Structure 1
Amino acid sequence: MVSESSAAKERRRAELRDFLRTRRARITPGEVGLVTSGTRRTPGLRREEVALLAGVGVSWYTWLEQGRDINVSAEVLDAVGGALRLTEPERAHLFLLAGLRPPRPHEPVTATVGPELRRLLDTWAPHPAILRDRYWNLIGINAGTRAVFGYDDADHNCLVSFFTNARYRDLHTEWSAIAPEVVAAYRADAAHAPGDPVFERVIGELSRASVEFAELWARHDVAAPTQAVKAVHHPDVGDLIFDKTTLAVIDHQDWYLEFYNPRPGTGTAERLATLMRTRTLTRA
């Protein structure tokens, strides 16, 4: 973690003491299968009982709860969090108070899009909107995205489509210039989760499917995603230029919303309206 002042460290340790003590006090021995007898003056679990449940030494856990300057590993904190039956937010809070970076919760790849997010995507139409995860898997798209970028039911990942969807590639008149930036941005995202099997699967499958991707990936270039403008040449209505804004979904860590807004003064809004109207008439 970033270095902190002595005063900040002391405040963090004091909060760690209070947090662990209150979490311990709310659990009764019977809730975790411990048999007790006689009168207990300690509300909830005793320190030695938490240590037993977590599989750590009593002295070590006592020092942790006292906020002493000791070495703490993520594995041991996970065990303490399990013993105290911490929720996901509480577990992340414990890591922060102990001076460690919280592990990122693993969002199921097949998670269902709730009605609120679905309505948000659809309300943004006719402007394109995308809901994706940290692997760039497409979780949800709207009608504008289908019409403008040519996504269909076969598209499941933004990076894969960028290299393998011929229609999507043809829309980008500067595809060759953009491709290195796209791959470098994906490497930056993957670097946050070394060894993650989902990232490895996307990279492996795409490396076998696209020689161009494999060559760019071998460069080991890394860059933050900075493309705030997305320009495509649509075969039906011509140039479409959008300002792209990416927002994190607060209740789904590692989910992101990408909103595409027609850039003023480019005629994109008018051409987009024509495109959507034509598609509506064609389907009628």
Structure 2
Amino acid sequence: MTSTSSTSGGPSEQRREALRDFLRDRRARLTPGDVGLPPAGRRRTPGLRREEVAVLAGVGVSWYTWLEQGRDISVSTEVLDAIAGALRLSDPERVHLYLLAGLNPPPAGGEPAAEVTAEIRQLLDAWAPRPAVLRDRSWNVLAFNDPARAVFDFDGTARNCLVTYFTSPRYRAIPDLWAAGAPAVVAAYRADAAHAPGDSAFARVVDGLRDASPEFAELWAGHEVGAPAQAVNALRHPEAGDLHFDATTLTVADHPYWNVVLYNPRPGTDTEARLATLRHLRLATPA
């Protein structure tokens, strides 16, 4: 770990200054007793000393001092994890430390199980009469509103948005639009999978869909990657006819593995009127 030449000004220097302030603040919040060290008498300033943090993290005192001073030095993920442990950082604080050090945070070990909250379900329902879906990071459907049930033929069984796109007769009924959108869908899924290389859920979806869809297998073998963006979804409903949606994906802040997908009728199509017709048909159907 050696010092390199620093640059003056710019985002890189601002990031190192933010790292310096963050480390100093978190060090000042701890006492020797908090980390299992014996008390060392009166201190001129609150918190741990730099040498104590260095010992706890197993790094050199000079190197940790350079890091906290905001010098342009090389860092590794192992050292950052050790410092995060020494400073008793929470998971969000650990991610923040990585970003300030100029590194991508490693993926979390696994997605914590959680029940879909009433607030999320209310959000989905509030989007009616337009479809809305909640999915996890591997695109498994966790919840949906009644319009989504009617439009996508969801029946409460386990569904995956990628699998649905490649296997649903409703999507495949408009072959030109389906074929035009398929490469972007696969590229977005590969981009999402790259954020969780150890998550076997992605592999299960890919392996199963490769066997079920030759088109998917060919596209997946191309290794195209695309950032998730607003997408156009087109499908043919057996009662309402052709439906065209602009789909926007939003991350749930307190559940970063969850995404809400909101479907809005595409302007210039008859989708909004067709949705209204579908709703009236559903209301008129006897329970």
| TM-score past 0.5 threshold | yes
Of the candidates 37, 46, 49, which is equivalent to residue 43 of structure 1?
A: 46
Partner in structure 1 of residue 216 of structure 2: 213
The alpha-carbon deviation at position 254 of structure 1 amounts to 4.2
Would the alpha carbon gap of residues 93 and 150 (structure 1) be closer, same or farther in structure 2, given more than 3 Å must change? same
The alpha-carbon deviation at position 224 of structure 1 amounts to 4.0
Unaligned runs of at least 5 residues, structure 1: none
The alignment's TM-score, normalised by the length of structure 1, stands at 0.85
CA contact (8 A) 2:135 2:259 kept: yes
The alignment's TM-score, normalised by the length of structure 2, stands at 0.84
Task: Output the CA distance in 1 between the equivalents of 2:34 and 2:171.
Answer: 57
Of the candidates 86, 90, 94, which is equivalent to residue 87 of structure 1?
A: 90
Would the alpha carbon gap of residues 275 and 82 (structure 1) be closer, same or farther in structure 2, given more than 3 Å must change? same
Name the SS of the counterpart of 2:38 in structure 1.
coil
The alpha-carbon deviation at position 68 of structure 1 amounts to 2.2
The alpha-carbon deviation at position 222 of structure 1 amounts to 3.1
Q: How many residues align?
A: 280
Of the candidates 117, 122, 125, which is equivalent to residue 120 of structure 2?
A: 117
User: Is 1:229 equivalent to 2:232 in the alignment?
Assistant: yes
The alpha-carbon deviation at position 260 of structure 1 amounts to 1.4
Counting aligned pairs with the same residue, the percent is: 62
Partner in structure 1 of residue 255 of structure 2: 252
After superposition, give the CA deviation of every residue in 1:176-206 in whole Å (9 maximum; x if it has no partner): 4433332233223333444543323322232
Q: Root-mean-square deviation (CA), in Å?
A: 2.7
CA contact (8 A) 1:17 1:67 kept: yes
User: Is 1:63 equivalent to 2:66 in the alignment?
Assistant: yes
Name the SS of the counterpart of 2:264 in structure 1.
strand
User: Is 1:22 equivalent to 2:51 in the alignment?
Assistant: no
Partner in structure 2 of residue 240 of structure 1: 243
CA contact (8 A) 2:57 2:83 kept: yes
Question: Residue type of the partner of 1:101?
Answer: N
Which 4+ stretches in 1 moved above 6 angstroms? none
Would the alpha carbon gap of residues 5 and 277 (structure 1) be closer, same or farther in structure 2, given more than 3 Å must change? farther
CA contact (8 A) 1:151 1:168 kept: no
